[in-house]
């Protein structure tokens, strides 16, 4: 496959346009008739094309290219993208370090998005042109991502954007909230009376998990650096200084030695091992979003507790269970509009031209919240 655009197409000499080829969309560019008494001004106006960031080789910068705009097929909607949320996973995919994402190059990456519906395919009744929507819609498994001006999206993956959030704020939510929901609600059954420990409460998924658990009536604790304690308190969690207290010490101090009903691990590695030691005997449940290493289950087994893993990309990759993601985001919208959910956003404004700077801010840990790219 090749995203290279023919210069003869971009700057045609003939009066009639030639055909544009796109290896993923497999469609022809169509000529759009100009409005009466209004001359065609730009190439984008004359032809149905869009700007997109193309990754041709892992570990290299994106290339901006003009390619044909996708057309919504049955069950799809065409979305004009306003914002693309950036996750640490996006960096791993770009670097070629995420084989589980099933990405083949060249590709348009970008997992999260928010935008406006401009057209609907056959059979779509849940949204209509003009609706503001958001979702975790692509960037893996050969599905076009959100680093483009438009995307043809499976309508079942979408929900209407929370009215109380901006496009940038909405684009920061999907992957983080869906991951938190699948772990805390679907797997662990979080609810009133539960003591929940969130490891990494200042992170992208962690600070959303705290808010979700609180909204579901749980008492929430989080392991966090001392400098980040005000953030934990802002979202309603009791901060635990893991640099000062051992697992045994904070389990004794905050649960009377009984252990937490739910331990939500966002870090993996040694933190997951510690989670097995912090969970409540018999009824306790550990959930990890990074349970990919080799771990001893002995501490968990000796407590008679249980464990679940979360793999949020599965519906995008397999095509199964996508409607559940859309339904989860409806729940997120309801919480946001009720004032119970708010993503922490990095204030820096990035665009398609400065995408590499956006990635660098995450890699260097200089971002003060979720990084979002404005489109176009």
**Paired strand residues for 86:** 371
Query: For 167-190, what is each residue's pLDDT tens digit?
Result: 999 999 999 999 999 999 999 999
Per-residue pLDDT band at 268 (split at 50, 70, 90): very high
DSSP tag of 184:
I
The tally of CA atoms less than 13 A away on the side-chain side of residue 374 is 8
Per-residue pLDDT band at 118 (split at 50, 70, 90): very high
pLDDT value at 233 more than 50: yes
What pLDDT is recorded for position 190? 98
- Average pLDDT for 264-282: 96
Q: How many CB atoms lie within 10 A of CB 249?
A: 12
pLDDT value at 2 more than 50: no
pLDDT value at 292 more than 90: no
pLDDT value at 33 more than 70: no
pLDDT value at 61 more than 80: yes
Average pLDDT, the chain: 89
What pLDDT is recorded for position 44? 53
pLDDT value at 286 more than 60: yes
Least confident of 43-57, 149-163, 203-217, 316-330: 43-57
| 3-class DSSP state of 345 | strand
pLDDT value at 108 more than 60: yes
Query: Are the C-beta atoms of residues 265 and 309 closer than 8 Å to each other?
Result: no
Per-residue pLDDT band at 47 (split at 50, 70, 90): low
**Paired strand residues for 333:** none
Q: Which residues contact 333 (CB under 8 A, 6 or more apart)?
A: 159, 160, 161, 162
Per-residue pLDDT band at 291 (split at 50, 70, 90): confident
pLDDT value at 275 more than 70: yes
Least confident of 15-24, 54-63, 131-140, 338-347: 15-24
Q: Does domain 175-309 have CATH number 3.90.79.10?
A: no
Q: CATH 3.40.50.720 residue ranges in the chain?
A: 175-309
Phi/psi of residue 16, nearest 5 degrees? -95, 145
Q: Which residues contact 339 (CB under 8 A, 6 or more apart)?
A: 164
Q: Whole-structure pTM over 0.85, yes or no? A: yes
Closest CA to 64 of 143, 153, 147, 132: 147
User: In this prediction, what percent of the chain has a pLDDT beyond 90?
Assistant: 85
- State the DSSP string of 134-172: EEE--SSTT---SSBSEEEEEGGGEEEPPTTS-HHHHHT
pLDDT value at 111 more than 50: yes
Least confident of 46-50, 99-103, 140-144, 182-186: 46-50
- Please tell me the distance from the alpha carbon of residue 119 to that of residue 201, in angstroms, as a whole number: 39
- Average pLDDT for 216-238: 94
Per-residue pLDDT band at 342 (split at 50, 70, 90): very high
pLDDT value at 28 more than 90: no
Per-residue pLDDT band at 293 (split at 50, 70, 90): confident
Query: For 346-360, what is each residue's pLDDT tens digit?
Result: 999 999 999 999 999
- Average pLDDT for 235-251: 96
- Average pLDDT for 249-267: 97
- Average pLDDT for 17-21: 38
What pLDDT is recorded for position 185? 98
Query: Are the C-beta atoms of residues 302 and 282 closer than 8 Å to each other?
Result: no
What pLDDT is recorded for position 3? 47
């Amino acid at each position: 496959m090749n995203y290279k655009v023919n210069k003869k197409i971009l700057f045609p000499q003939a009066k009639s346009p030639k055909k544009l080829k796109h290896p993923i969309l497999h469609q022809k560019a169509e000529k759009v008739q100009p409005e009466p008494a209004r001359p065609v001004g730009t190439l984008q106006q004359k032809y149905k094309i869009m700007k997109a960031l193309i990754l041709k080789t892992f570990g290299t910068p994106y290339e901006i290219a003009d390619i044909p705009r996708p057309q919504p097929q049955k069950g799809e909607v065409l979305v004009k993208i306003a914002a693309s949320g950036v996750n640490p996973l996006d960096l791993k995919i770009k670097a070629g370090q995420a084989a589980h994402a099933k990405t083949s190059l060249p590709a348009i990456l970008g997992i999260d998005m928010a935008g406006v519906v401009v057209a609907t395919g056959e059979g779509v009744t849940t949204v209509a042109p003009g609706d503001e929507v958001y979702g975790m819609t692509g960037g893996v498994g050969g599905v076009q991502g959100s680093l483009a001006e438009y995307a043809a999206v499976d309508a079942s993956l979408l929900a209407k954007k929370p009215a109380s959030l901006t496009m940038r704020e909405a684009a920061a939510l999907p992957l983080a909230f869906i991951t938190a929901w699948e772990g805390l609600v679907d797997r662990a059954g979080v609810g009133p009376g539960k003591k929940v420990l969130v490891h990494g409460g200042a992170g992208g998924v962690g600070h959303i998990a705290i808010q979700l658990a609180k909204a579901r009536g749980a008492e929430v604790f989080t392991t966090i650096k001392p400098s980040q304690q005000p953030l934990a308190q802002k979202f309603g969690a009791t901060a635990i200084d893991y640099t000062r207290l051992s697992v045994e010490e904070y389990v004794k101090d905050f649960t009377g030695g009984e252990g937490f009903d739910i331990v939500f691990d966002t870090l993996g590695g040694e933190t997951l091992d510690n989670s097995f030691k912090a969970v409540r005997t018999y009824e306790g449940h550990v959930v990890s979003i990074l349970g990919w290493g080799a771990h001893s289950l002995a501490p968990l087994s000796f407590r008679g507790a249980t464990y679940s893993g979360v793999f949020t990309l599965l519906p995008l990759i397999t095509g199964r269970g996508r409607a559940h993601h859309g339904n989860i985001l409806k729940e997120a919208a309801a919480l946001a509009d009720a004032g119970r959910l708010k993503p922490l956003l990095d204030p820096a404004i990035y665009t398609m031209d400065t995408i590499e700077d956006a990635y660098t801010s995450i890699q260097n840990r200089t971002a003060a919240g979720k990084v979002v790219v404005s489109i176009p």
